[in-house]
């Protein structure tokens, strides 16, 4: 598929692409002028901010027949188009100056609804790695599989079957370290049908987290990040060192989850964006 015409997608509450890319939820966005090139769903799309949302142009796609309306629907879901983030930014209790300021700092961040398998693998890789190192390892995996998006130098993220077929040496060469056997076993579980990505989406939050944690190398943080960013469970609140520091400093170690249900995951992103001021 060749480059398509630009599609405008309205996003309630707007978006800041740069803030969203730096929010620690996605690792494959490629800076491109005033926007980003984003590989997902077998497509490579050029995305720029536009009044009230984004303009999106599909540069190339491995999908042979995809209508403009289908493309718009796919990417609208990816950018969580229907949820009004301006209302969520106004949720913090005015007495909570920390969260109020964090929400202001996080204005424009949206939760990206990513493909679950890619989200799971990238967050397994993310443990004890810097964001540049995560990105390098992820791209090495994609290049090793070698499924290039037609007419571009960008690769699709591998399927479980493709990833399972990489040898131990090939995985190690991607800079995965101790994570290599976890990633291989994870891919094997999905490729052989031990776990099913679509079935996981039918589970409630607690069951989803517990099932993800049954995989080697998947702890509570990776499971919560996968559920939040790959299954769009917006009430989940992943905790890393930055978030834990905020909780200890401002909330006696425990965030008031009941107050911000069902959008605790978005509050977490605002706190993460505000981390330099903790």
Catalytic residue among 19, 129, 216, 221: 221
- Report helix angle 264-273 to 241-250, nearest 10: 100
Contacts by 162-168, CB closer than 8 A, 24 or more apart: 163/121, 163/187, 163/191, 164/188, 164/191, 166/141
- Report helix angle 97-105 to 264-273, nearest 10: 80
Half-sphere exposure of 135 (CA within 13 A, CB side): 13
Q: Would you say 110 and 53 are in contact if contact means Cβ atoms under 8 Å apart?
A: no
Residue with tokens 């799309």: 45
Q: How far is 34 from 178, CA to CA, in rounded Å?
A: 37
* Residue 2 known to be catalytic: no
Beta bridge partners of 155: 148
Tokens for 224, please give them. 């919560």
Q: How far is 188 from 205, CA to CA, in rounded Å?
A: 24
User: Active-site residue numbers?
Assistant: 221
């Amino acid at each position: 598929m060749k480059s398509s015409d630009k599609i405008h997608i309205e996003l309630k509450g707007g978006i800041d692409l740069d803030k969203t890319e730096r929010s620690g939820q996605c690792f494959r966005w490629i800076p491109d002028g005033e926007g980003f090139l984003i590989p997902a769903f077998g497509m490579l799309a050029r995305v720029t901010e536009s009044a009230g949302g984004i303009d999106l142009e599909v540069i190339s796609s491995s999908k042979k027949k995809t209508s403009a309306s289908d493309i718009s629907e796919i990417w609208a879901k990816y950018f969580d188009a229907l949820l009004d983030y301006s209302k969520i930014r106004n949720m913090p209790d005015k007495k909570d100056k920390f969260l109020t300021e964090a929400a202001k700092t996080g204005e424009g961040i949206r939760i990206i609804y990513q493909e679950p398998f890619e989200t799971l693998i990238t967050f397994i890789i993310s443990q004890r790695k810097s964001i540049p190192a995560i990105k390098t390892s992820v791209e090495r995996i994609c290049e090793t599989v070698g499924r290039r998006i037609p007419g571009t130098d960008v690769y699709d993220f591998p399927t479980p079957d493709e990833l399972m077929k990489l040898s131990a040496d090939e995985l190690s060469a991607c800079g995965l370290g101790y994570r290599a056997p976890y990633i291989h076993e994870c891919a094997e579980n999905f490729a052989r049908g031990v776990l099913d990505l679509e079935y996981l989406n039918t589970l409630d939050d607690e069951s989803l987290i517990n099932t993800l944690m049954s995989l080697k190398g998947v702890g509570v943080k990776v499971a919560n990040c996968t559920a939040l960013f790959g299954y769009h469970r917006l009430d989940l609140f992943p905790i890393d060192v930055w978030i834990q520091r905020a909780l200890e400093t401002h909330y006696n170690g425990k965030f008031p989850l009941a107050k911000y249900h069902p959008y605790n995951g978005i509050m977490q992103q605002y706190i993460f964006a505000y981390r330099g001021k903790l």
